[in-house]
Structure formats: structure tokens, C-alpha cells
A and B are shown apart, each in its own frame.
Chain A
């Protein structure tokens, strides 16, 4: 080796080492001194399995969103057809994307015109004549179905993000996964049940009129329901605060007003000591609507319904102008706050369900960190001691390379702001055992060359050169399986793939370039005839 090459290689190794140390500092030293402020973002953060927290995968029922949208179109169609002069159009939903419109056969032109003008989202499909009537099928366009699904997911994401922001979690992660899932990570959350309830609430708020009198008979089914009514239950609380079904109420099915007119919702103290109400501020349209409703129904009860549960059903004493309504009920302060959040952030466009939940308590996370560190230290010491005994000075070099490798590995993780998980720690521990492989291959080869009678310098040259193809090939295979794991893996498992791959890549550098550099220094300084290997 020429001395210039030695110089440049030294520069490279020393330079990279300095960069690596700088990258690791923000993770190790806290708080960071101000002169290192530019490195602020380069930090390894702990995964939920180590710091504790909740990982949720919510599945958005995007098919239901399509159905909802089709039903809205059906309502509009009914109105538009009446406007166009078709007397009694009958509209049924056949399946997720198809409507069947039944009209007198001679009025087909009007239907075609209405659809063409007002319903660009529908296309005319098969038609048949049944008993003198035309049954025309209308199908949602495929791109329209795609758009509805897409926007249902987007809106759900937005709504959920708003709710979590107001719930007050530090550094939550909310992102989509695939075409119907939303991944939510809430680090260090104390009460996952409450968070889940808040996030998953569909929160359809509606105002409906109550029919007076007992609804017991209707609820039990002993008396048939009058047309246009339904039975809903009041919210009540058991002795330990759990939700229970309260009194049944007979309410009119027709929704007078919905939650979309709510412009703000706040928790206010109630009339009784320690009680709370949630006040609603309505927008201009809502205020107008509310005034009309209250004016027309003085002395009747107006049920305020959230997700099919009657929260309160106050009697309308007088016409209420100004657009303010109040929901009273026996809320705890958390419940009242969550309800106000849900009302403020609006309803979810489609029902969501929890497809996956993983919650780790803080003490298990601490256990895992401790166990991870233990295995790391013990595994590392075992390998270091073994190499030292087996290869003596060459073993010392390999050990040095190993420590170097861990430094580079952590530095790379910090640079990419990677998240360290328990499998990730396992990957680092495993790297300890694999990183020395390259040095084993090199040292064995050097021993072989020495046995052939080569000089120290020639044996080292040949050892490094001849071992290299084996080292590259054998590390490539493990690296490849790490890549595949990264592609197919989810969550914490990805962390394993990341640390394994980085560890292998950096071990190539430290074990091959790093140790060679030290040999070259020694050989250039003095005349060495025997090697400690």
C-alpha cells in the first residue's frame, strides 16, 4: 500500500468517526448544549413497545360511505323528479352502487333529462318494463365510487386528527395505510379506552321531536309503532358511572336538524353543583332553523340525540332565537369534554372499527429496555472476550471494529431519525454476533497464508484480498433477507430489519476498511515478522 492511500483512508475513517460521534450525541446527551443545536433533529426515538403507548389500526367502512352517498342521491333524485313533473317516482337501492327508479313508462324522457342535468355521478344502466312501469337502473360511475371511498378516508383522517389534537397527546402519529385503514400511534397515553372511544365515535347529532306519553309498550313490542316514529332510549348512569339504557322515548323519525349546523361546542357548569352541560353554538343557518323549530313546537319535548342515544329531551318553553342549544345529562368532566370535542370536530363520514390494537404500559416498556440492554451487554462481552482469546491482537482489532460498528449503527439510526423497537434492539444484538464474521473470515485466511510460509505483510494482503468475495457474498444474502423483511414486515418488526441491514452494511466498512488501516499503520512503522493472530 502506498502512503498516500494510507493518508486518505485515515482521513475517511477519522472523518466518518467524528460525524458518527456527533450524530450520536443528541441521543445520548440531554439536554443538548446550545452549540450542538444544529443536530437537534438527529435523534433515535423509542418505539411504542419501549416507551409505552397505544398503536391502533382503524378500519373505515368505506363501503358504507358509498351506500350513504347513494342514498343521498336517491333523496335528491326523488325531489328532482317531482320537480320535473313525475308524480310518484319509486326509488330503491338495489345494491351498493345501484338504484332502481320505477316511473310510468311514458315519462322516460324526463328521467333521462333529469339524470343528464343533475346527476353526473350516475349512469343509465339496464331498463325493463314491469306492469306498464319502467324500471330504470342507475349505477354510480366507477370513478365516482373511487372518489367517494377516497374522500371518506381523507375526511375520517382529518376528523380523527382534529379529535386527537384536541385530546392533547404529545407527538401522535396519524396516517393512512392501504385504501381503508388509518394507523394511529399515541405515545405514553394513560387511558387508551377513553382515547379509543373518542376516536371511534361516529357522532351523528340529531334533533327530533318526542311524542308525549309512556313508550314502554312500544319498546316491549306489545303495541305496534305509529307510522313515522321510533323508540330511542335516554342515557342514564349506573352506580359506578357505567352507561346504561334509561327510559324509552317515542320520537318522530324525521330529523329536524343535524350536527352539521354546530359551529362550536363548549363545556359549561350545570345548574346543580358539580354538574356540567355542553352548550352548542349554531351557525346562521342553524340559528334560523332552531328558531323555526322552537317557534312551531312550544311545549313539546325536543330530543337531542347522539349516535341513537337521547342525551337530553328538554321541553321547549318558548321560541329560542340567537342559535344556542344546551345538552344536559349526567356527564363526568371527561365525558363532557370528549363530547364537546366530538361535536366541534364534526361527524365521521363513515363508521370506523378497531382492526388492531396494541397497548404497552410504561412499566413493560422499561422492562423491555432493561432486558434489551442486558442482552446487548452480555452478548457483546461474550463476543469481545472470545475474539480476544482466539485471535489475540487480531481479535483486539476485530473488537475495536465491533465497537466502531455499533457507533456507526446508532449514528445512522439517529441520522434517519429511526425509531428503536424491541425487535430493533434484538437486531443490534444480533449484529454484534454477525459483524465479527468478516474478521473471522479475514483472520482465518491470514492464518492459512502464514501457514503457506508467506511473510506477515504478504499474508495480510492476501488474507484481506482473498476473503473479500466470501465476505461480500455472505453478507449480501443476510442483507437481502433483511430487505425482504423490511418490505413485508409491519411495525416493530420493521425496526429489526432496519438495524440488521444497517449493521451489516456498516460492519463491512469497519471490519474490512477499519481493521486493515490499523494493520497498515503497524506494518509501515516497523518491520514486523510475526503476527499476533
Chain B
């Protein structure tokens, strides 16, 4: 039988939670700082503007394209080599005061004139006006926030509220780190990043649910052990499947990342980071949060108990 994790593994996950929470918090703060001070490189989907993707017959330098386009009034050009042997380029033009629709026509005309009409092929043209850009931006943020809330509510309904909070904390953690990684590696935030982040949201909880399910099951079977012990036992028992389920998902995302082409690059990268971090957080982040709230509420209840009558507390707990 092939197995990565031996059945009687008993690693003290709960014991090492403090340094790991510190590391995770640091990574999260770093992501937030990046987001606030560096800011996302917004694609034209969100910022508005236009882009032209072209393929030349012969390899070229970005500078010679820039030189060919100097006559075109298009503001600040961003020319990106797409790595197809210097033949494919992405030319981006930010939203200007004038209407965006004319710019692409001038760009392609100028390229055709300079390099010859048969030598350059226009692969893709996109233009997004300011209203649409703002609209898409709003929808993207709303979708991620809404999905996060939904997950927290769903977990709270299916489990106890503490598990809901734990799952929500873990998932905010995962999304933040995925966003931070996108920022750090200079990926552009375009429309494809939204489904990637939402999938991270869903899949992050996926792993957390597996552990939470086992905690619930073990607590029913074993009323004597402390919650910390049960959490530890549950994580150890489910470790193998957490790693395997994420592993297969990461395998296909790797295939997408390597073979899926430039359009899906940012998408696959966000998933890669999100899935990996998601597995980590369901083991090391979600359960300690549950433990934290458990201790807080039990100690609060213990303090309160002498002063209160027994009949008052059940009503409050619901």
C-alpha cells in the first residue's frame, strides 16, 4: 500500500501553533502593506484602457515597436514581450481623456505601415471604457466579499459558530496571501483573477471542512479528552486526505500554469498559491482559532458561573 503519511502519525500541530500564527500574520500584514502601498497592477478590465496583442513574422525588440508607435498619440504605452521567441507582444494603453475606441485602430494601422501589412498579425484587441471598468471592479470586490461571508455562514450553520469563524479567518488568510503573491510577482489583476480568488475561497473551506468534520466526530466519540487533544488527533487523522485532495488539484493547476497560455497565467498562479496556502491554513490556522474561542468562552463562563442562576445561562447560550 502506498501512503505518504503513516497511519499512526502523531504530530503536535496544536503545540506549534504560536510561531506559525506569527508567521502567517506577518505574511498577511505584508500582503496588506503591498496591497495598500504598492497597489494592484490593474488590467484594462478594471482600470479601463485598451490593449492590442500582435504577432510578428520575425523576432523583434520591444523598443523597435515603441519606436514605430511614437507618432501615434496614445499616451503612455506599456509593451510586454509574451515570450514567444520575441514574436508576440502585448501593447497596453491606459485610459486617456478621449474615448478609448479610436486608439487601437491607430496602433494597428501604424504597426502595419511600419512592419508591412503581411508581417504583423493582430491576435486580440480589447478596449474598456471607464464606466464598464468601474462596474467590473465593483462586481469583483463584491463577489469576493460576498463569497467569504457565505462560507462563514454556511460553516456556522453546519457546524458551531466557532468553526465558522475559524474557517472565515483561514480563508481571509488564504485570499490575502494569494493576492500578495500576485502583487509580489507582478501579475496583472484582470477578470480571470476573480474566478481564481473565488475558487480559492471555496477550496480553502473545502479543506477546513474535512478537519472540522473529524473534530466533530471525535468529540462525540470521546468526551473526556480536551479540545486541544481532539483537534490534534483529528488533524493527524485527516492529514493524509488534506494533502492528497489538494495535491491532485495542484497537479492540474500546474498543468494549466505551464501549458494554459498567457491568458490563464495569472489565474493558474493565484490558484497554485491559494490551494497550497489553503491546505496549510486548514491545518495550522483554522483549528487554533476554534481552540482560542473555545477557551475564551469557557473561561468566561467559568468566571460568570458563581454569580448567575443556572436557569439564565441556557437562554443566553442559544
Contacts and interface: CB of A to CB of B under 8 A. Distances in A.
Nearest to A532: B1
A383 B251 contact: yes
Contacts of A359: 124-126
A420 to B, nearest CB: 14
Contact of B263 (A390, A422, A440, A447): A422
Nearest to B211: A470
A433 B263 contact: no
A378 interface: yes
Given A382-B251, A448-B237, A480-B150, A474 B210 contact: yes
B69 interface: no
A497 B195 contact: yes
B209 A368 contact: no
Interface in A379-431: 379-380, 382-383, 386-387, 389-392, 422-423, 426-427, 429-430
A436 interface: yes
Q: Which of A355, A392, A429, A482 has the most CB of B within 10 A?
A: A355
Interface residues of A, number: 78
B241 interface: yes
A146 interface: no
Contacts of B128: 355-357
Interface string A466-498: 100110011111111110110111111100110
A355 B255 contact: no
Contact of A451 (B7, B214, B256, B259): B7
Given A430-B271, A489-B143, A441 B129 contact: no
Contact of A481 (B202, B210, B259): B202
Interface string A337-369: 000000000000000011111111101100110
A374 B254 CA distance: 12
A378 B260 CA distance: 11
A447 B241 CA distance: 11
Contact of A476 (B3, B132, B154, B249): B154
Contacts of B122: 361
A480 B151 contact: yes
A409 B104 CA distance: 38
B250 interface: yes
Interface string B202-216: 110111011001100
Nearest to A476: B154
Q: Which of B136, B191, B240, B264 has the most CB of A within 10 A?
A: B264
A469 B159 CA distance: 12
B129 A426 contact: no
Interface in A49-70: 49, 57, 59
B202 A353 contact: no
Nearest to A479: B202
A367 B245 contact: no
A368 B249 contact: no
A470 B251 contact: no
Contact of B194 (A372, A432, A493): A493
B2 interface: yes
A476 B150 CA distance: 11
A363 B191 contact: no
Nearest to A497: B195
A444 B256 contact: no
Given A433-B249, A484-B146, A477 B151 contact: yes
A365 to B, nearest CB: 9
A486 B54 CA distance: 31
A138 to B, nearest CB: 31
Given A470-B209, A474-B210, A490 B123 contact: no
Contacts of B3: 390, 447
Contacts of B154: 476-477, 480
B260 to A, nearest CB: 5
B18 interface: no
A436 B209 contact: no
Nearest to B217: A466
Given A379-B256, A482-B202, A490-B136, A367 B261 contact: yes
B301 interface: no
A423 B268 CA distance: 11
Contacts of B92: none
Contact of A355 (B53, B131, B248, B258): B131
Interface string B83-125: 0000000000000000101001100000000000000011111
A357 B126 contact: yes
A60 to B, nearest CB: 12
Contacts of A476: 154
21 contacts: A193-B105, A354-B99, A360-B123, A364-B124, A375-B260, A378-B255, A379-B253, A386-B247, A386-B248, A429-B260, A430-B253, A451-B7, A470-B209, A470-B210, A476-B154, A480-B147, A480-B154, A481-B150, A481-B199, A490-B139, A493-B194
Interface of A: 49, 57, 59, 192-193, 196, 353-361, 363-364, 367-368, 371-372, 374-376, 378-380, 382-383, 386-387, 389-392, 422-423, 426-427, 429-430, 432-434, 436-437, 440-441, 444, 447-448, 451, 466, 469-470, 473-482, 484-485, 487-493, 496-497, 500, 533
3 shortest A-B CB distances, which residue pairs?
Answer: A481-B202, A433-B252, A379-B252
Interface of B: 1-3, 7, 53, 55, 99, 101, 104-105, 121-129, 131-132, 136, 139-140, 142-143, 146-147, 150-151, 154-155, 158, 191-192, 194-195, 198-199, 201-203, 205-207, 209-210, 213-214, 217, 237, 240-241, 244-245, 247-256, 258-261, 263-264, 267-268, 271
